[in-house]
Amino acid sequence: MSESTIPQSRPWQQPFWKPAPGGAKVLLYLVLIHLLAITGLILFPLPSLKVLGASLLIMALGGLGTTVIYHRVLAHKTLKINPLIEQLLIFFAVFNGSGHPVSWVAYHRHHHAHADGPEDISSPKHGGFWWAHLRWLYQSAPADRQRWCPELNRGAYKIWDYAETPTILLSLFCGPLLGFSWQGFFWMGAMRLVYSLHMQCFVNSLTHLGRAADGDTSQNVWWLGPLQIGAWGENWHKNHHTYAASARLGLRWWQPDVGWYFIWTLETLGLASGVKRPRLQ
């Protein structure tokens, strides 16, 4: 289906500034953290080593929460993990701006079910790079949680739906709360959230700009990995679409996958089980 034949109701054809119903809060959040990040970069262009170290640690824990728990444990069920570790990493994923687990998983399963088709809500194939990178976050309709992840839409996972906003507020102000004053407010708050946001969004945009005979646009982007603090492994996106049931994303020895190293360590310690490995062709 060519873009000219797609019905005019497609969300990517709306003006970029027009949020979908319920998307205004997301758009406001995106504008706010970017304005704060720009302000912080002007006022404090270079952070202290303590502030930088604390920011990187929080990003690393949040990245692990997203790639290991959200993606590999919950969305694809490629392993089971100790529930205390799981909930701790969910906290850091929410704290790092990844959203609550039920919404994340619903969107991701929807994406895989309609990958690169008109119904794929985060593909650049129809909406373009910026649609896949940011716009879909506030201009697409929410994924149907009851359809895509009914097993998560209750209990401990559902609680994060209500805890997301206070957790993000805590995240924004964590610098001063930990005694790092204004430099910590900007670097450990909005600047960290903006950086983490774009590194995650590149998985929807940049790693789906490939071309293949079968129409699959997913691609591996080696240089993106080191920039994805804690979530290194998500850059092997072609691998993931080929072996979606695998807990390991970096399939070769020369494809670093921090999430996999973490899983392997937990499995060795008896804190992870049922780890699914790829059957390479």
pLDDT at 10: 86
CA distance 199 to 181: 26
- Residues sharing a CB contact under 8 Å with residue 240, sequence separation 6 or more, in sequence order: 218, 234, 246, 249
Taking each helix axis from N to C end, the angle separating 83-95 and 101-113, rounded to the nearest 10 degrees, works out to: 90
Total-model pTM: 0.94
Lowest mean pLDDT among 9-18, 58-67, 133-142, 167-176: 9-18
- Residues sharing a CB contact under 8 Å with residue 7, sequence separation 6 or more, in sequence order: none
pLDDT at 215: 73
CA distance 166 to 147: 27
Percent of the chain with pLDDT over 70: 95
Above 60 in pLDDT, residue 3? no
Which sign, positive or negative, has the C-alpha torsion 152, 156, 162, 167? Answer: negative
Dihedrals φ, ψ of 65, to 5°?
A: -60, -40
| Cα Rg of the chain, angstroms | 19
pLDDT at 6: 40
* Residue 31 pLDDT grade (very low, low, confident, very high; cuts 50, 70, 90): very high
pLDDT tens across 101-154, in order? 999 999 999 999 998 888 898 989 889 999 999 999 999 999 999 999 999 999
Percent of the chain with pLDDT over 90: 88
Question: Could you tell me which residues are beta bridge partners of residue 272?
Answer: 81
CA distances from 126 to 70, 115, 228 (A): 26, 11, 26
Dihedrals φ, ψ of 266, to 5°?
A: -65, -40
**Spacing of C-alpha 135 from chain mean position:** 14
CA distance 46 to 255: 32
Q: What is the mean pLDDT of residues 235-262?
A: 97
Per-residue tokens: 264: 């392997």
**Spacing of C-alpha 166 from chain mean position:** 19
* Residue 57 pLDDT grade (very low, low, confident, very high; cuts 50, 70, 90): very high
pLDDT tens across 159-204, in order? 999 999 999 999 999 999 999 999 999 999 999 999 999 999 999 9
CA distance 20 to 4: 22
* Residue 89 pLDDT grade (very low, low, confident, very high; cuts 50, 70, 90): very high
Above 50 in pLDDT, residue 28? yes
Above 90 in pLDDT, residue 221? yes
